[in-house]
Structure 1
Amino acid sequence: MKEITSSMAGTVFNVITEVGQSVTAGQTLLVLESMKMEIPVESTEAGEVVEIKVNIGDFVNEGDILVVLK
């Protein structure tokens, strides 16, 4: 399992992926909003999304787990 974590504190603005979806390295999984900027969170490797740990509107801190890949 590979955990995709937040690189900064912010609010989940949009969740683009869904559980069961195959993703490629560099593919945008979700978008965070911080200081009125939208920051895409990309997959670091190819895999299948097995869990999305956040919802739109959730506040996350740096290092929080956002998505789990298999």
Structure 2
Amino acid sequence: MKKIEASMAGTVWKVLVEVGEEVTAGQTVIILESMKMEIPVEVMMDGKISVLHTAEGEFVNDGDVLLELE
């Protein structure tokens, strides 16, 4: 399992994937909002979303696990 973490603190503005969805390296899976800026969270490898640890509207801190790939 590969864990995808938040790179900074912010609010989850948009979740672009669902559990079970196949993703490819470089794909944006979540968009965070911090200080009126949108920050895309991308996966660095191909895989399948196994767990989502967050939902739209939730606040996350730097280093929080957002999702896991298998």
- How high is the TM-score relative to the length of structure 2? 0.98
Residue 55 of structure 1: aligned partner: 55
Instruction: Show structure 1 runs of 4+ deviating over 3 A.
Output: none
Deviation at 1:44, TM superposition (A): 1.4
User: Which SS does the other structure have where 2:7 is aligned?
Assistant: coil
Unaligned runs of 5+ in 2: none
Question: Deviations for 1:16-38, whole angstroms, at most 9, x for unmatched residues?
Answer: 00000000010000100000001
**Structure 1 vs Structure 2 CA RMSD:** 0.4
Question: Between Structure 1 and Structure 2, how many residues are aligned?
Answer: 70
Question: Deviations for 1:6-64, whole angstroms, at most 9, x for unmatched residues?
Answer: 00000000000000000001000010000000111000111000011001010000000
- How high is the TM-score relative to the length of structure 1? 0.98
Unaligned runs of 5+ in 1: none
| Percent sequence identity over aligned pairs | 56
